[in-house]
Chains A and B, each alone.
Chain A
Amino acid sequence: MARPLAEVRGVVKVFPGVVANAGVDLAIYPGEVLAVLGENGAGKTTLMSVLAGLYRPDAGTVLIDGSPVVLRSPGDALAQGIGMVHQHVFFFNATATTENLLLGWREAGVLLDARAHAARVRRLAGDYGLAIDPHARTDTLTLGERQQVEILRMLHRAVRVLILDEPTAVLTPQEAAGLIGACRRIAAQGRSVVFISHKLDEVLRVADRIVVLRAGRVAGVTTPDRTTPRALAQMMVGQEVEVTPRPPASPGPVVLTVDGVALEGPGGRALQDLCLEVRTGEIVGVAGVAGNGQRELAEVLAGLRVPRAGRVVWEGRDITRLSPRARWALGLAYVPEDRLGEGLVAAFTVAENAVLRDYDGPPVTRGLRLHWPAVRARARALVTRFAIGVPSLDTPAWHLSGGHQQRLLVGREVAATPRVLVAMYPTRGLDVQATAAVHRVLLDLRAAGAGVVLISESLDELFALADRIVVMHRGRLVGERPAAAATREEIGLLMAGAH
């Protein structure tokens, strides 16, 4: 085999209370797509951030072309030909795509020849099969398009090792397929692509070689033709993954009704004439490509937005203008998309976050006094019941891994036995075990007689959990199917707007 383009040896990286990498060796060879597979908190992103110059390792070395280097910043890494595209692509907003591509690129010169650059961007994009409009403003781009721009920016700067951190987490299935094609083309030029993921199927499709990380160590190295999804899953979690059994649904009466709701959003109608009924004891799956009104629907249900027209009805009572707090009192729980920024308070401790919903009522507050033993008791109960991995109840929420943050959030919402739960992308970015845990919680809730509105981009998830699937497209519900009778193709077409 050729000499590795880049290599890490014995990398240790420790964060307060967490060992992210406990001595990792990894080599990246030219012309390969290397998948780094592992659960949340396995140390994938940390390891690659060391390679991309974002973190200095506490021990161990980084080698480029066989010689050790010290990377002090992402700029250093770029100069060595290593570029990383992060999960959440950040842009200097509202500039043209071309300008973003030139960001930090010295050879751009003082004067910009906009037309020449636009042509160059278009050619470069065409080479890799990426569809990018050089003149589109970045604030109008979807997450997937932003990611493509960022990849192009890296290619434009001639990186030799392109690191993609969970690149498909925000993509539609079609976009994901396109990205995999682009990865293959990039590798065919002799560059290397590192593809961080916890999705088994796409790793098997994209990778030449697969490295599995578990708890900060390399659990195994393999190739797609020598392994199976089941073997990979076992390597990731170190034990058998149980399949969630799913009893049949027995829907009861309608609890929550959305009646002809319309809402304005940035750049047009976010919701139009939307009608939906939620019954007790069922899971309604809301399918759709991100950005087609799902967030607005969730926020209208949760009471965070008041629609321009239409009503939200709870057991015959109009709650269109009822506050989130009053809706919680009725039995409406909500797991928002942004768990750390909205559903939890990043700087609050686990204990404080556990009582976010009812800090001002008994048993937490009696009279004027906030009763800390009650707060801690509540948190301890959540931690035990939902197996939340926390060093202590006084740990701030941002110290937890994504999966455990979500267990805390979902646990808190579910522990009060709501009558209806609205859950938006509840397993986005979660690993196998955390996803299974959240799925189990949702099914338990259904079994306990609650209605669940599950907004998801993952057809796997919807087919695994939902009793009915409705499809959103451009702010409307464009179809409804019983999950048992629906096919993926049918739902996929509806998501794409063919109705």
Chain B
Amino acid sequence: MVITARTLDVAPPGARGAVWAEALLIRLGSALAALAVGALVMRVAGYDPWAAYREMAVGALGSWYAVEQTLLKAIPLALSGLGVSLAFTMGLWNIGAEGQLAVGAVAAGWLALGAPGLPAWAMLPGVVVLGAAGGAAWAAIPGVLRAAVGMNEILSTLMLNYVGLLWVDYLVFGHWADPTAFSFPYSRRFPESAQLPPLVGSVHVGAVLALAATAGLWLLLRHTAWGYEIRLIGTSPRAARYRGAPVARNVVAVMALSGLLAGLAGVAEVSGVVHRLQQGVSQGYGYAAIIIAWLARLHPWAVVLVAVLFAALLNGGFVIQTTGVPAAIASMLQALLLTFVLASEYLVRRHRRRRAVAAARAGLHQDP
């Protein structure tokens, strides 16, 4: 094939759409395969898989209420998933979204509980901004440690998770404990002014926040010089050094932004759903975010999609426990899905290679 400057910009016709459709189909297929294996295990264990799956589907999406519950869970999952995927894009292994989410929730609660008399126009933005700042500050600690003394951020972010969650415990058992709740580990209820208003049904405006964050992150990574720099440092640290990209500054900034998004997830949870600070505020969203980021291959829009599916799975898994299927089955299904979908990545790659080879061979035979 003769390559000229003119042919350079022309992608194969229809390729982009076809590639997307194919990638989606392969992933759906692998999810189905995971469900089939799950059914086999349930059958062997003496449960009725059809009934369990039906219950799961109904529980996750079968009613408006179920859909609302799924979306409510998807909001913090998407926000923390976005945060984690941003850090991963720069090669920073932030596995501390769980703690950043908790500290974001604490910071939001500090304003909501500390100044309940604030007018709504100041309270709501204040809660959001403080929650974001709390998450950002919590993540900035490992960022600074990494940039200044080279401390491994995997360890520091992981350890700060425990610190953050224990902070929540300390506050809800002690200082901020609801005096009317006997010894239940939660705070007083947030004032009305500090609650994220509903958007549709019980789905709160955090959904808009999550979508805005997705669009913002996509724009940042794809359409700004800073995004280019983040991808550069993440993909090739040596080329970044060669270019003189300021790595230390970016480590701190990206960690902070990553924690900011996780902090927003904390706000969504306390101001949007439970309306108080309570023990176990996160329910493992910050860890699920890691899985979501990988399944979405760090792509912001894919993170949202995967977060919704993951939320459906969580909800469905919660519902089937009421039918007598043990909770472990739900965890097993999550693990199976993760394994199968990640394995399908390999199939996608192999398939693409084969097709490229076939295309090149077709060209070869036309060549005299």
Contact surface of A with B, Cβ cutoff 8 Å: 12, 14-19, 22, 58, 302-304, 323-328, 334, 336, 338, 341-348, 352, 355-357, 359-360, 364-365, 368-370, 372, 376, 380, 383-384, 389-394
Contacts and interface: CB of A to CB of B under 8 A. Distances in A.
A343 B224 contact: no
Given A14-B360, A348-B235, A376 B9 contact: yes
A19 B363 contact: yes
Contacts of B229: 359-360
Interface in B35-58: none
B364 A336 contact: no
Interface residues of B, number: 35
Nearest to A16: B356
A18 B353 CA distance: 11
Interface string B336-360: 0000000000000000110011001
Nearest to A369: B223
B244 interface: yes
B11 A303 contact: no
Contacts of B357: 14-16, 58
B47 to A, nearest CB: 43
Across chains A and B, which 10 residue pairs bring their CB atoms closest together, nearest first? A325-B244, A16-B356, A324-B244, A360-B225, A365-B225, A345-B236, A323-B244, A384-B5, A14-B357, A14-B360
Contacts of A325: 243-245
A360 B229 CA distance: 8
Interface of B: 3, 5, 7-11, 222-229, 231-232, 235-236, 238-239, 241-245, 352-353, 356-357, 360-361, 363-364, 367
Given A16-B356, A346-B236, A359-B228, 9 more contacts: A14-B364, A18-B360, A324-B241, A325-B243, A326-B244, A334-B242, A341-B238, A342-B241, A368-B225
Contacts of A343: 239, 242
Contact of B242 (A16, A18, A324, A360): A324
A392 B5 contact: no
B225 A370 contact: yes
A368 B5 CA distance: 29
A255 to B, nearest CB: 20
Contacts of B352: 16
Nearest to A364: B225
A341 B5 contact: no
Contact of B244 (A303, A346, A372, A389): A303
Contacts of B3: 389-391
A246 B244 CA distance: 34
A356 B232 contact: yes
B227 A12 contact: no
A345 B8 contact: no
Most buried by A among B228, B238, B241, B353: B228
B218 to A, nearest CB: 13
Contacts of A394: 11
A345 B225 contact: no
Nearest to B232: A345
A323 B363 CA distance: 47
B317 to A, nearest CB: 36
